[in-house]
Structure 1
Amino acid sequence: MPTLRAGIIGGGFIGGVHAYAVRASGGVVMQVADHSPEAAALAATRLGARSSAESAEALIASDDIDVVHICTPNDTHFDLALAAMKAGKAVICEKPLATSSEDAALLAETARSTGAVTAVPFIYRFYPSVLEARHRISSGQAGALWMLHGSYLQDWLSSSQETNWRVDPAKGGGSRAFGDIGVHWCDVMEFTTGHRITRLVSRLSQAHPSRKGDESDSVVSTEDGAVILFETDRGATGSLVASQVSLGRKNKLWFSLDGTDAAYVFDQELPDSLWIGGRSSSQVIPRGPDTFSAGGGADYSRLPAGHPHGYQDSFTAFMTDAYAAVSGPRPEGLPSFSDGHRAAVITEAVLASAMKDSWVEVPS
């Protein structure tokens, strides 16, 4: 397989995660672009790129780039992804794919019509513990799933003195807590169970009605937290609590998928095990070659038992599959721009429900 050449647009935290995963997947980081040539030069050094680009547009047009990575604020994703696909590049775009479902639909359709290889980093799919739960559920070991519930909790915006571009709806989109992290939970739930959310009701809330900006306090119009009740196409009900203001929770994506014969619990802050609940007994299954299944978690368990598999390892597994799709058949389960569109549709349903104070249908 040829060595794929990556161009990363955006040199912040997530750009660094992408750069590490590119190299671990056998690729090379050729160029980095940022909001200015000076920032790009600094980011290129920090991310280990061979050079910096004058602009995002120059990077996309470059002949020595095979895969464009979009790691910029949300409001820029649509234009950059569209330009990269039209330039014949493979595209890996951070979520949300776009700040409206219409724009996300156009990107997904462009990917289909051009044949562009695309991916969105819904990387919680790639934890071996999640894949093991998926395998056991699909093989019937859970029985009928009837309740799907959980949370995604963070605390990085817990102080009113903290702010970020995501707080501004012009840059981050109309939903913050749900649009930023709640969509991850919905994606991994639907991927693991095979259920699709068809109907929901939501409530959005704020811990801080204003936040300290660069010079003065600014009114906050996006949510700090969201609570969602939902129904699925297979008759299950469920709930989700998403928050970026839950003290002490750094990145707690947690789910319980409850069936008539077994329940499966995953906790991203304790990622190297899967809790399996039964009526007579329950057990915690540690990740390992003798505990996880071929066709399930064992296929993505690339570290020996006792060596924790975490966020960067899962991101690298995602990137390995994405890069494999550029050169050959698309691996099963790799999230595409269609999955990014799905997340945008659910986000708009959450916002619509909160505005209407009622249940709403989620378009298929």
Structure 2
Amino acid sequence: MTQEPLKIGVLGYRFMGKAHSNALARLPMFFPDAPDVDRHTLVGRDEEELADAADRFGFAHTATDWEAAIDEVDVFYNLGPNHVHAEPSIAALGAGVPVLCEKPLAPTLEEAAAMRDAAAVTDVTAGTAFNYRFVPAIRHAKGLIEDGELGEIRQVRGRYLQDWLVDPEAPWAWRMDAEMAGSGALGDLGAHTVDLANFLVGEAVGEIDRLSGHLRTFVDERPVYDGEGGIEEYRDVTVDDAYSAQVAYESGATGTFEASRVAAGHKNDHTIAVHGSKGSLKFSLERLNELEVLREGNRGYETVLVTEESDPYVDRWWPPGHVIGWEHTFVHENYEFLSAVAAGESFEPSFADGYEVQKALAAIERADERGEWVAVE
């Protein structure tokens, strides 16, 4: 597809809808070589809120029917809750419309497989929105690993900690329902960690061979509030608040992953560390412009500020030392995705990559149910 401007349709206007809409608006200023885009149609259910969001986000049209929207756009962003990822995405691909779908790819492995297969059959550009792959410091870390700076990879450790559900009276939301979300901290946060590990060390350590898993729900029900702060009812929480997993890779390397939405004092603490025979590195999302690197022969870690013009994407922004933020990861992601769409090329992370993450998530749940190590099938 080479038509410009690309008419963009976006399903979802809350958290991710705002993040991606902001990215689309920033592209012409900072990435002038990106395809021209027309923020065409915003899709949602509440007509009043939808109209307000469309006005703020710069969309010319609104729709309450995603099927009708697909017929009007060149590219479809599926940013809705997890349970509406599969059907609209598969329909869009079937209509020849490229799709960027938020993570996790689907609530279940079966739906993720159907989405992967639809992308493969149609050969239309399809991407899973793992935005942390596009942090400059993460790209720098991948380069160090690929260049052999860490030697043989032996261990990878990842954790993602948040505290927005510490309070047992925190309001119930769709992310707490297994039918809509699939899982809790595991899919919401753990998906990011598994994908980042796959991205950084997958080529070096191979696929996950087997793993253990433990899931825990600490608050079994949460309130639904009315518009005035009163409690209408309590609804069951049917997903995990926290998970942990141990991983064995094909190469013999090991991994430990964990996530929590009830970790007091942690707002958005996504960290990943890689240890090799010659060195180590560690990254924290809360300090996303920095990378901690231990090189062979050194006694301690060096803090590398990844803001040089030679660093990935940084030349598009500010002079060295002028840091970027979380929202910029979406700009980078949208630049790469839309450039792939315009060129008729594939994009990574693909739906196949999203499916590989879903395999690990499903295996962690299976390991928890059985109380034993399981193979990732």
User: Structure 1-normalised TM-score?
Assistant: 0.93
The whole-number CA distance in structure 2 between the counterparts of 1:25 and 1:360 is 44
Q: Which amino acid counterpart does residue 50 of structure 1 have in structure 2?
A: A
Kept in 2: contact 1:68–1:90 (CA 8 A)? yes
Kept in 2: contact 1:6–1:22 (CA 8 A)? no
- The corresponding residue for 1:135 is 143
The whole-number CA distance in structure 2 between the counterparts of 1:329 and 1:6 is 16
Kept in 2: contact 1:127–1:310 (CA 8 A)? no
Q: Which amino acid counterpart does residue 253 of structure 1 have in structure 2?
A: H
1:329 Cα deviation from its structure 2 partner: 5.9
**Secondary structure class of the residue paired with 1:120:** strand
- The corresponding residue for 1:45 is 55
The 1:54/1:35 distance shift into structure 2, 3 A limit, reads closer
- The corresponding residue for 2:20 is 18
- The corresponding residue for 2:287 is 270
The whole-number CA distance in structure 2 between the counterparts of 1:37 and 1:57 is 16
Q: Which amino acid counterpart does residue 356 of structure 1 have in structure 2?
A: R
The whole-number CA distance in structure 2 between the counterparts of 1:167 and 1:43 is 25
The one-character-per-residue Cα deviations of 1:73-116 (angstroms, maximum 9, x if unpaired) are: 11111111011111211111111221111211111111111111
- The corresponding residue for 1:202 is 213
Q: Which amino acid counterpart does residue 113 of structure 1 have in structure 2?
A: V
| Superposition map of 1:235-314 within 5 A | 235-278=252-295, 279-289=298-308, 298-301=311-314, 302-303=316-317, 304-314=319-329
The whole-number CA distance in structure 2 between the counterparts of 1:281 and 1:38 is 56
1:83 maps onto 2:85 in alignment: no
1:209 Cα deviation from its structure 2 partner: 2.3
User: Structure 2-normalised TM-score?
Assistant: 0.89
Size of the alignment, in residue pairs? 353
The 1:185/1:142 distance shift into structure 2, 3 A limit, reads same
The whole-number CA distance in structure 2 between the counterparts of 1:40 and 1:263 is 47
- The corresponding residue for 2:152 is 144
Kept in 2: contact 1:36–1:55 (CA 8 A)? no
| Superposition map of 1:1-364 within 5 A | 2-26=4-28, 27-62=37-72, 65-162=73-170, 163-173=172-182, 175-194=183-202, 195=205, 196-214=207-225, 215-278=232-295, 279-289=298-308, 298-301=311-314, 302-303=316-317, 304-328=319-343, 330=345, 334-363=348-377
1:54 Cα deviation from its structure 2 partner: 3.8
Kept in 2: contact 1:255–1:266 (CA 8 A)? yes
Q: Which amino acid counterpart does residue 336 of structure 2 have in structure 1?
A: D
The whole-number CA distance in structure 1 between the counterparts of 2:338 and 2:262 is 35
The whole-number CA distance in structure 2 between the counterparts of 1:236 and 1:12 is 39
1:158 Cα deviation from its structure 2 partner: 1.8
The whole-number CA distance in structure 2 between the counterparts of 1:330 and 1:236 is 33
Shift >4 Å, 4+ stretches: none
**Secondary structure class of the residue paired with 1:149:** strand
1:213 Cα deviation from its structure 2 partner: 2.7
Kept in 2: contact 1:353–1:360 (CA 8 A)? yes
**Secondary structure class of the residue paired with 1:276:** strand
**Secondary structure class of the residue paired with 1:116:** coil
Q: Which amino acid counterpart does residue 28 of structure 1 have in structure 2?
A: D
The one-character-per-residue Cα deviations of 1:217-249 (angstroms, maximum 9, x if unpaired) are: 233221100011111122111111201111221
1:36 Cα deviation from its structure 2 partner: 3.6
Q: Where in structure 1 are there 5+ consecutive unaligned residues? A: none
The whole-number CA distance in structure 2 between the counterparts of 1:16 and 1:8 is 10
The one-character-per-residue Cα deviations of 1:241-261 (angstroms, maximum 9, x if unpaired) are: 201111221111101101111
Q: Larger deviation: 192-201 or 147-156?
A: 192-201
Q: Where in structure 2 are there 5+ consecutive unaligned residues? A: 29-36, 226-231
